[in-house]
Chains A and B, each alone.
Chain A
Amino acid sequence: MAGYLVRRFIALVPLVFGITAITFALLVLAPGDPVEFLIPPEQRGSADMAQFRHELGLDRPLPVQYVSMMADLFTGRLRSFSDRRPTMRQVEEALPTTLILTLTSLALTGALALPIAFLSATRPYSVIDHAATLFSLLGISLPTFWFGLVLIFVFTEQLGLLPASGIRPTGVSGYSPFVIWRFLIMPTVVQALGILPVLVRYTRSSLLDSLSQDYVKVARSKGLAERTVLLKHVARNSLLPVVTITALLLPFLLSGSVIVESIFALPGLGRLAVGAALSRDYPTVLTTTAIAGMLVVVSNLLADLGYLYLDPRIRHG
């Protein structure tokens, strides 16, 4: 089993390499000169520019730039072009917000999707099933930023119930759940709405699959209570694919964070990434993309562990 995990872990190296290499290639191919954006217009074209380019290491061969950028990235020496602080410091500030929002969104999605899927799978073609399908359709078709703005309009501007900007009250440090929960409600709902339909649909079909299996018929024929059959047998087996899909939802959530964090003025990774891209802050663009990619990779690993936990066959195999 340890060997399995190690193999999985090693397999992740090309993933991280691939993600950063693609991003680096984009940065290199992009038109325009990052130095242009960093010095006052009056100094453009002067000797200062060459000097500055040299300081930023932009005059070295591309592979050297890539390798040194990556080395600097992981040792925390890579500095943002715009605020000239280590990019890892920026990530440190931004990551908690994005992680918390991602987890609350996953929790809300799970808490809603599983019962909905269960109800609609055990009563196919009932009113509940149709309502669930319709709801999924609504969720998947709504532009999320528009939905977010409507929420702000109703719950902040009209009702004055919820804060619409930031992750915590001013003057508070840390992320105590008792303090930040009000700030998380709207962003979480918006994030969850985007992925809820995917999870409902997937879990429903996975449950339907299990329900038609022979062992369920056997269990039923033994006279076990329907509740026991569903919880002990069906649920456990259907959870395997659900674990995978949950890991696959993480890239969606991270992508969604870019927009959600902009609407709700959250100080997270998505907003850091957009700001960096718009100001051509190459080191920060590279770092945010690498970190987001690594989050996905880690969540895939977690999904593997979930598999091991849920399916003894893999554990002992």
Chain B
Amino acid sequence: MKTPTARTAAALLVLALAGTVTGVPARGQAPVQAVVAISNLPPRLLGVSLAVAAQIGQLINDSLTAVDAQGNVTGRLAARYPVSPDGKTYLVTLRDARFQDGTPVTAQDVKFTYELYLHPKYPTTPPALLEIAGAQEYKAAKAPHVSGITVVNPKTIRFILNRPYPFFYEQIGTVAILPAHALAGVDVGRLQEAPFTRQPIGAGPYKLIDWRERESITFEAFRGYWGGAPALPRLVLKAIPDDATVAAELRAGNIDAGRLIPEGYRTFQRDPQVTVLRVPGDTYYWFTPNFRLAIFQDVRVRQAMAYAVNRPEMLRALYQGLGTVAQSPIHPSLWQYDKNVRGYAYDPAKAKQLLAEAGWAPGPDGILQKGGQRFAVKYGFLAGRDYQNQALLIQQYLRAVGIDVQVLAVEFGDFFSRYYTPASNFDLAGLAWFNLLIPVQAELDNNFRSSGIGARTIGYNNSEMDKLLDEAILTRDRARQQTVYAEIQQLIIQDAPRVMTVRPDVLWGIRKRFIVPGDIGSLSAFFKSLPRWKER
């Protein structure tokens, strides 16, 4: 039986659909493509500080130099890059490379790019670029050009620094080089509105050919890539926010790769169609006290919190043991990482003893007291499964040594506006950091140097730390640098500006259709490996 409304509705539907038909899939010569699920697409690719934008940027763009998996410098667009004996002059000779629109990469493009990143109105200038002579004046709009960057000839460019800086090629050389002609005339103050930020042209292995909001970004192999066209002709990054949906799509073969939760990792190990990839995580978690509170200025209290937290248990309970206890803020794959660094073992007795030494004694309700003040603190964390579960375990661990913790989930926007306020609403903040997106020295400067944003936020200030961080910059001998970094890591443990908890492994499921390179050691490396995927 067909009722009148059903018929009307059906007719309406057909009309509506017919009206929207604009294309039918091209059949036949469809190139091999890999569909990789990511949580969300970034709003744009330039002038934004988001991990996903950086990962996509690595596919599209190339830089003068790059840092390999161990943290060593390799040449990319730079064929030769000698340093003057005083460590202040860098002469870069470009190799024959082309942008995706066919134009060659020239020294003029390089100069243009650095001046763009240093432009007074560019929103996310990497701090290391300010080491270039004249950069600060240019950034302050007091000079028409950066005096320390000179085009010698179309293939050669010279950088002069203010002081000897050993990380030129790790930090300054690694920014994406952009085509000057494509950005000529763009108002940097309104850069975010420029079409280029979503239709980029780079000198990297993949060309972005299609961007569909909340749907997918499609890339095509750039045949003219100086390093040879990628083995994988086409790549689609598909936005799927829900983990459960990702798992279902991967199981059904509707996507080729997707992130897994630890429980999913165990079940996908038994799936004959799927390879599971497990590599050390780029992300580590920690919680940090607000140093503006008198309670936390006593190092013994901070150390006590570190002793009180059972980190191996957290790892087992929350990640099925798939990960490592975080001992250092430096990613373990890098040469700066000190293999001998040992954090705090789980020792609640030691924690109680330290708290007692700091003058805290158990009150009638079992909560520590000192001069009539109860040790009751608020622990704020970003709303989300990982942060929340960790917060609840940390609450339990701290309660066991007599610290009363109230946990508080806060939405993303709210979290940072509160966390970055000096008069923060919470006393402890649960956070995470993505390693490998910026160079190690920049990470450490940000988080631990008194003038760094991260340290300023929590009110952390340690002159000994500042001195060591300076020393790392001023030393040019690798072995000596290694020692300095080891000392920095020891000091971070000993001074406990933060309690580092866990570094969960990165877990991915990949359909067996693809052969994946065997050298993936991090999430960043996973994205970097995509051009080398081959269909089986």
Touch A–B, Cβ below 8 Å: yes
Q: CB within 8 Å of B: which residues of A?
A: 32-33, 36-37, 39-44, 55, 79, 82-85, 90, 93-94, 96, 99-100, 103-104, 106-107, 110-111, 114-115, 118, 149, 152-153, 156-157, 160-161, 163-167, 169-179, 235-236, 239, 242-243, 246, 262-265, 267-268, 271-272, 275, 278-280
Please tell me if the beta carbons of A265 and B239 are within 8 angstroms of each other in the complex. Answer: yes
Please tell me if the beta carbons of A174 and B10 are within 8 angstroms of each other in the complex. Answer: no
Instruction: With CB as the reference atom, state the residue of chain A lying closest to B214.
Output: A267
Interface string of B249-260 (1 = CB under 8 A from A): 101111100000
User: With a CB–CB cut-off of 8 A, which chain A residues contact B294?
Assistant: none
Please tell me if the beta carbons of A41 and B25 are within 8 angstroms of each other in the complex. Answer: no
Provide 6 A-B residue pairs closer than 8 Å at the C-beta atoms, listed in order of the A residue: A42-B453, A44-B420, A100-B16, A165-B238, A170-B35, A173-B23
Please tell me if the beta carbons of B216 and A114 are within 8 angstroms of each other in the complex. Answer: no
- Whether, in the assembled complex, B479 has its beta carbon less than 8 Å from a beta carbon of chain A, the answer is no
Instruction: Pick from B12, B43, B218, B420: contact of A170, CB below 8 A.
Output: B218
- A155–B14 Cα distance when bound, in Å, is 26
Query: What class of interface size applies to chain B in its complex with A?
Result: 35 or more
- A235–B255 Cα distance when bound, in Å, is 47
**B421 to chain A: closest CB distance in Å?**
9
User: With a CB–CB cut-off of 8 A, which chain B residues contact A177?
Assistant: 14, 17, 21
* Given A164-B245, A174-B20, A41:B236 Cβ within 8 A: no
User: With a CB–CB cut-off of 8 A, which chain B residues contact A264?
Assistant: 245
Instruction: Pick from A114, A156, A178, A262: contact of B248, CB below 8 A.
Output: A156
Q: CB within 8 Å of A: which residues of B?
A: 1, 3-6, 9-10, 12-14, 16-17, 20-26, 30, 33, 35, 37, 40, 43-44, 49, 123-124, 189, 192-193, 198, 210, 212-216, 218, 236, 238-242, 244-249, 251-255, 411-414, 416-417, 420, 453, 457
Please tell me if the beta carbons of B218 and A41 are within 8 angstroms of each other in the complex. Answer: no
Instruction: Pick from B9, B13, B245: contact of A165, CB below 8 A.
Output: B245
- A275–B239 Cα distance when bound, in Å, is 13
Please tell me if the beta carbons of B253 and A160 are within 8 angstroms of each other in the complex. Answer: yes
Please tell me if the beta carbons of A160 and B420 are within 8 angstroms of each other in the complex. Answer: no
Please tell me if the beta carbons of B249 and A156 are within 8 angstroms of each other in the complex. Answer: yes
* Interface contacts beyond A165-B240, A271-B214: sample of 8 additional A-B pairs, CB < 8 Å, sorted by A: A36-B416, A84-B43, A90-B213, A93-B212, A107-B10, A156-B252, A236-B4, A275-B40
Please tell me if the beta carbons of B254 and A262 are within 8 angstroms of each other in the complex. Answer: no
User: With a CB–CB cut-off of 8 A, which chain B residues contact A272?
Assistant: 213-214
Instruction: With CB as the reference atom, state the residue of chain B lying closest to A107.
Output: B9
- A93–B26 Cα distance when bound, in Å, is 21
- A118–B25 Cα distance when bound, in Å, is 41
- Most chain B CB inside 10 Å of its own CB: which residue of A43, A115, A157: A157
Please tell me if the beta carbons of A173 and B417 are within 8 angstroms of each other in the complex. Answer: no
- A215–B186 Cα distance when bound, in Å, is 74
- A243–B245 Cα distance when bound, in Å, is 36
Instruction: Pick from A82, A164, A239: contact of B43, CB below 8 A.
Output: A82
Main secondary structure on B side of the interface with A: mixed
Instruction: Pick from A40, A160, A171: contact of B25, CB below 8 A.
Output: A171
**A121 to chain B: closest CB distance in Å?**
13
**B241 to chain A: closest CB distance in Å?**
6
* Given A32-B414, A278-B412, A157:B9 Cβ within 8 A: no
User: With a CB–CB cut-off of 8 A, which chain A residues contact B420?
Assistant: 41, 44
- A267–B212 Cα distance when bound, in Å, is 9
* Given A100-B16, A170-B216, A278-B411, A163:B241 Cβ within 8 A: no
Please tell me if the beta carbons of A111 and B215 are within 8 angstroms of each other in the complex. Answer: no
User: With a CB–CB cut-off of 8 A, which chain B residues contact A175?
Assistant: 17, 20-22
Instruction: Pick from A39, A156, A171: contact of B218, CB below 8 A.
Output: A171
Please tell me if the beta carbons of B24 and A239 are within 8 angstroms of each other in the complex. Answer: no
- Most chain A CB inside 10 Å of its own CB: which residue of B210, B214, B236: B214
* Given A44-B420, A177-B17, A265-B245, A37:B9 Cβ within 8 A: no
**A314 to chain B: closest CB distance in Å?**
18
- A51–B45 Cα distance when bound, in Å, is 23
- A55–B59 Cα distance when bound, in Å, is 33
User: With a CB–CB cut-off of 8 A, which chain B residues contact A242?
Assistant: 5
Please tell me if the beta carbons of B193 and A163 are within 8 angstroms of each other in the complex. Answer: no
**B245 to chain A: closest CB distance in Å?**
5
User: With a CB–CB cut-off of 8 A, which chain A residues contact B193?
Assistant: 79, 84-85
**A237 to chain B: closest CB distance in Å?**
12
Please tell me if the beta carbons of B192 and A32 are within 8 angstroms of each other in the complex. Answer: no
- Most chain B CB inside 10 Å of its own CB: which residue of A55, A103, A163, A167: A103
Please tell me if the beta carbons of B248 and A239 are within 8 angstroms of each other in the complex. Answer: no
* Given A156-B254, A171-B33, A94:B17 Cβ within 8 A: no
**B248 to chain A: closest CB distance in Å?**
4
Instruction: With CB as the reference atom, state the residue of chain B lying closest to A166.
Output: B215
Please tell me if the beta carbons of A115 and B35 are within 8 angstroms of each other in the complex. Answer: no
User: With a CB–CB cut-off of 8 A, which chain B residues contact A280?
Assistant: 413
Instruction: With CB as the reference atom, state the residue of chain A lying closest to B234.
Output: A171
Please tell me if the beta carbons of A152 and B245 are within 8 angstroms of each other in the complex. Answer: yes
Please tell me if the beta carbons of B17 and A100 are within 8 angstroms of each other in the complex. Answer: yes
**B412 to chain A: closest CB distance in Å?**
7
- A111–B24 Cα distance when bound, in Å, is 28
**A162 to chain B: closest CB distance in Å?**
8
Please tell me if the beta carbons of A265 and B3 are within 8 angstroms of each other in the complex. Answer: no
Instruction: With CB as the reference atom, state the residue of chain B lying closest to A85.
Output: B193
- A223–B172 Cα distance when bound, in Å, is 93
- A111–B6 Cα distance when bound, in Å, is 5
Instruction: With CB as the reference atom, state the residue of chain B lying closest to A80.
Output: B43
Instruction: Pick from A84, A163, A170, A246: contact of B236, CB below 8 A.
Output: A170
* Given A82-B43, A100-B17, A103-B13, A153:B248 Cβ within 8 A: yes
- A163–B254 Cα distance when bound, in Å, is 7
* Given A114-B5, A171-B218, A175-B21, A43:B123 Cβ within 8 A: yes
Please tell me if the beta carbons of B13 and A173 are within 8 angstroms of each other in the complex. Answer: no
- A271–B412 Cα distance when bound, in Å, is 17
Instruction: With CB as the reference atom, state the residue of chain A lying closest to B30.
Output: A171
**B331 to chain A: closest CB distance in Å?**
22
User: With a CB–CB cut-off of 8 A, which chain B residues contact A82?
Assistant: 43
Closest 3 A/B residue pairs (Cβ): A174-B22, A83-B43, A267-B214
